[in-house]
A = this chain, B = another copy of it.
Amino acid sequence: MSNITKKVSWSSRGDELGPVGEGTPLLNGSEQPRHSRQFSEGGSLFQIDRLSTVDLEEEISAEEESARGQPKEIPHNSKLLSLKYESLDYDNSENQLFLEEERRMSFTGFRCLEISRWLICGLIGVLTGLIACFIDIVVEKVARYKYEAIKQNIERFTEVGGLSISLILWAVLNFSFVMVGSILVAFFEPVAAGSGIPQIKCYLNGVKIPRVVRLKTLVIKVCGVICSVIGGLAVGKEGPMIHSGAVVAAGVSQGRSTTLKKDLMIFEYFRRDTEKRDFVSAGAAAGVSAAFGAPVGGVLFSLEEGASFWNQMLTWRIFFASMISTFTLNFFLSISHNNTGDLSNPGLINFGRFESENLNYNLYEIPLFIAMGAIGGVLGALFNFLNYWLTIFRIRYVHRPCLQVMEAMLVAAVTASVSFTMIYFSNDCQPLDSEHAEEYPLQLFCADGEYNSMATTFFNTPEKSVRSLFHNQPGTYNPLTLGLFTITYFFLACWTYGLAVSAGVFIPSLLIGAAWGRLCGIWLASLASAGSIWADPGKYALIGAAAQLGGIVRMTLSLTVILVEATGNVTYGLPIMLVLLTAKIVGDYFQEGLYDIHIKLQSVPFLHWEAPATSHWLTTREVMSSPVTCLNRIEKVGTIVDVLSNTSTNHNGFPVVVQVSENDEPSKLCGLILRSQLIVLLKHKVFVELAGSRLTRRKLQLKDFRDAYPRFPPIQSIHVSQDERECLMDLTEFMNPTPYTVTQETSLPRVFKLFRALGLRHLVVIDDANRVRVLNLYKSKVFSRKLKIVTMILFRWLDW
């Protein structure tokens, strides 16, 4: 697999693509229109492609060219959908083995399982909290050394001249940290780049992103985020916590690690997509909770992104994991701050207490908040627009690891230089206040007893800058300082997001918003009469931060709750909600949310909440994949191997049929079997002919399927001799005898709902018996994740 396909996606290793992903074909949504219809309003053509005909040619030739060492523009079209991603199967395959196990299990057995689920969630919470704690302490300590060193250096050279040496020191320090972080990410685990939130969104949505929940990814992510934050990039360490929590959950719940080659032989029951996804939800929630000290927000994040079916006990467990996570973080941070037992640091970012009396808002401020929400929406859309084109550019031209590392280093150097220049030319001097002591006050050219105000925003970790924008006394910042800072930081943050470093976009967004929000507050206060104190700049900084963040990420309920929990005060619930609502509406008018843009750019078959409103005229017949590959209940091994090896129809589920009569009458559906199950069967050579000798061998059990989960070997790695090809396999025991079915006439929204609500991966389409008398009766058609793809294309056509 070449570098090119590597760079098109989050997950670069072609050799680990799993059994189906030979090649990473991109599916063009507009090719080979099979059904077209004039769309009533827009007049645009609606085109539905035929999915079984994937043309691999173009991809291969592109690879060959790059192999010849000619880096070339990669043709990337965000209307394509990648066939590389597989779906999670949220539906249990209720085959005989499964049912037997469930029926054998006693009530106590189920109770034990339930207790283990709680235990695992507790463990997820503890581990996620510890990781957050580790990141926080390391960043804190190392950043302190760095800033102290630079500060001393600057102080030394301010009077004698030669500040360029300080600049170089600063730039080199940033440079080196970012280089380490970037090399780790670009060369060792590209999927650890960015905040990881889009990937987790996809996972919770039901799309398996390769290697996204591996231990190695976690290690690289943690190291990477430490490097990039210390490296002074315009990034936060909160987004990556969500990814980290998810990895912890996926690891703990499976009771083993493939990276470490260690199987603890526990929690084997949970080795399937259904259970794993539930735990990953809990992990993501625990991550949010640790990042923002927002346990309820974490639960809502998980539900908003992942829930297709709300289950009370599951929600309660997720909440438990969240609570434990924030509690663990809080407790260990209190120890590290020599203040054991004081539980006042619930998250990595703490907005500080908003308690003073004048922070109450009044009715006439509501329109102002809404206006700020609109500004946030516009600025957010601009941010996303710029980042969109930057990402397209990166996909086309910056796709080699070394180029990516170089870009990251360039950004680090530019960030340091720009910050330094801004500080250098700023003449906003403020008196040093013993109460609101800045952590690293830079005197520079200010008079004694004063410090450079611009430096407090740039010369600090972004979390601290946000907090000082929220809480510093009115008058701490000069409007010009804030304006310049906003503009500079906006472009720096926009450039930074999408680099090959582990980094989140939450804190930069909050910082940009807080800066212009505070600016609004200062401006409003200057409009108001002298004695009025209603326009507290800190309050407006909070509103601005909410508006900017909402404009960029477009999250709704969960973000409101996260922000409310981070401020520790429910008073601002209504204004924050109104601001986020406005920002979302305004932003959506121009552009999608940042995460959705990146998901789209990675060609992920992401399933939205509802089928498009105007899709009622589409029926299953028009979107299903056809003809379908069926297997007989007792099938020849050779046929099965051939079917699995056929790359042009690389399905993951096959309907099992039975012949009713000898003549031409079509066969009837009797079950559904998955590729993964067939692979395990072939590996264990469960052939009818060997049944006699199998009496000595043990019977195939569910455990064998679970041991192979989740990395089933590809069909190529299984050797079947020519003699064995003539053997027969009896699928009765292993197929799911009761797959969900629909008829051909079912409308798309109806099928979509079934798919979404039950988290299906395959849906069998059966003919309507009353229409076809003999020929097609019960000839089943599989309606697999290809449905997702078709539906997505449909979405695209509506959205773009």
Q: Chain A interface (Cβ within 8 Å of chain B)?
A: 40-42, 92, 94, 99, 102-103, 105-108, 110, 293, 295-296, 299, 303-304, 307-313, 315-316, 319-320, 323, 326-327, 331, 340-344, 346, 355, 360-364, 556-557, 560-561, 564-565, 568-571, 573-574, 577-578, 581, 609-610, 613-614, 616-617, 658, 660, 668-670, 737-738, 740-743, 745-747, 750, 753-754, 756-758, 768-770, 773, 778
Contacts and interface: CB of A to CB of B under 8 A. Distances in A.
A23 B651 CA distance: 54
A746 B757 contact: no
A748 to B, nearest CB: 11
Contact of A581 (B102, B320, B557): B320
Contacts of A738: 742-743, 745-747, 750
A365 to B, nearest CB: 9
A296 B747 contact: no
A574 B326 contact: yes
23 contacts: A94-B747, A99-B617, A105-B613, A110-B613, A110-B614, A295-B577, A296-B573, A299-B557, A304-B310, A308-B757, A309-B309, A309-B310, A311-B610, A313-B609, A315-B557, A346-B570, A568-B569, A568-B570, A569-B569, A660-B769, A668-B770, A738-B750, A740-B742
A99 B619 CA distance: 11
Nearest to A633: B770
A232 to B, nearest CB: 31
A316 B557 contact: yes
B41 A106 contact: yes
Given A105-B613, A570-B570, 7 more contacts: A311-B610, A312-B609, A319-B556, A343-B571, A344-B360, A670-B770, A754-B758
Nearest to A778: B769
A315 B312 CA distance: 16
A695 to B, nearest CB: 27
B609 A311 contact: yes
Nearest to A743: B738
A658 B313 contact: no
A102 B578 CA distance: 32
Contacts of A617: 99, 103
A126 to B, nearest CB: 14
Contacts of A568: 569-571
Contacts of A581: 316, 320
Contacts of A343: 360-363, 571, 574
B658 A323 contact: no
Nearest to A769: B668
Contact of A574 (B323, B578, B737): B323
A107 B346 CA distance: 45
Contacts of A303: 310
A556 B312 contact: yes
B574 A750 contact: no
Nearest to A101: B616
A304 B315 contact: yes
Contacts of A42: 107
A323 to B, nearest CB: 5
Contacts of A745: 737-738
Contacts of A346: 570
Q: Which of A326, A343, A581 has the most CB of B within 10 A?
A: A343
A323 B564 CA distance: 14
Contacts of A769: 660, 668-669, 778
B312 A341 contact: no
Contacts of A308: 309-310, 757
A40 B103 CA distance: 10
B103 A616 contact: yes
Contacts of A94: 747, 750
A747 B310 contact: no
Contacts of A103: 616-617
Contacts of A99: 616-617, 747
Nearest to A114: B613
B556 A296 contact: no
Contacts of A740: 742, 754
Contacts of A319: 556-557, 560, 577
A331 B740 CA distance: 51
Contacts of A362: 341-343
Contact of A658 (B342, B355, B573, B770): B770
Nearest to A99: B616
Nearest to A314: B609
Contacts of A326: 574
A329 to B, nearest CB: 12
Given A360-B343, A660-B770, A614 B577 contact: no
Nearest to A366: B327
A331 B366 CA distance: 12
A773 B319 CA distance: 51
A573 B312 contact: no
A66 B341 CA distance: 66
A323 B369 CA distance: 15
Nearest to A294: B570
Contacts of A293: 570
A330 to B, nearest CB: 8
A361 B331 CA distance: 12
A536 to B, nearest CB: 16
Contacts of A316: 556-557, 581
Contacts of A557: 296, 299, 315-316, 319
A261 to B, nearest CB: 34
Nearest to A107: B41
A628 B311 CA distance: 32
A756 B747 CA distance: 21
In the A-B complex, the 6 residue pairs with the closest CB atoms: A110-B613, A102-B616, A738-B746, A307-B310, A757-B757, A341-B363
Contacts of A313: 609-610
B360 A757 contact: no
A557 to B, nearest CB: 5
Given A668-B770, A670-B770, A738-B746, A40 B106 contact: yes
B613 A107 contact: yes
Given A299-B557, A747-B99, A750-B94, A323 B614 contact: no
A581 B342 CA distance: 23
A769 B320 CA distance: 47
A342 B323 contact: no
A247 B307 CA distance: 28
Contacts of A92: 750
A594 to B, nearest CB: 17
Contact of A105 (B614, B757, B758): B614
A90 to B, nearest CB: 10
Contacts of A610: 311, 313
A637 to B, nearest CB: 23
Contacts of A757: 308-309, 757-758
Contacts of A310: 303-304, 307-310
A398 B388 CA distance: 70
A6 B616 CA distance: 45
Contacts of A614: 105-107, 110
Contact of A573 (B295, B363, B578): B295
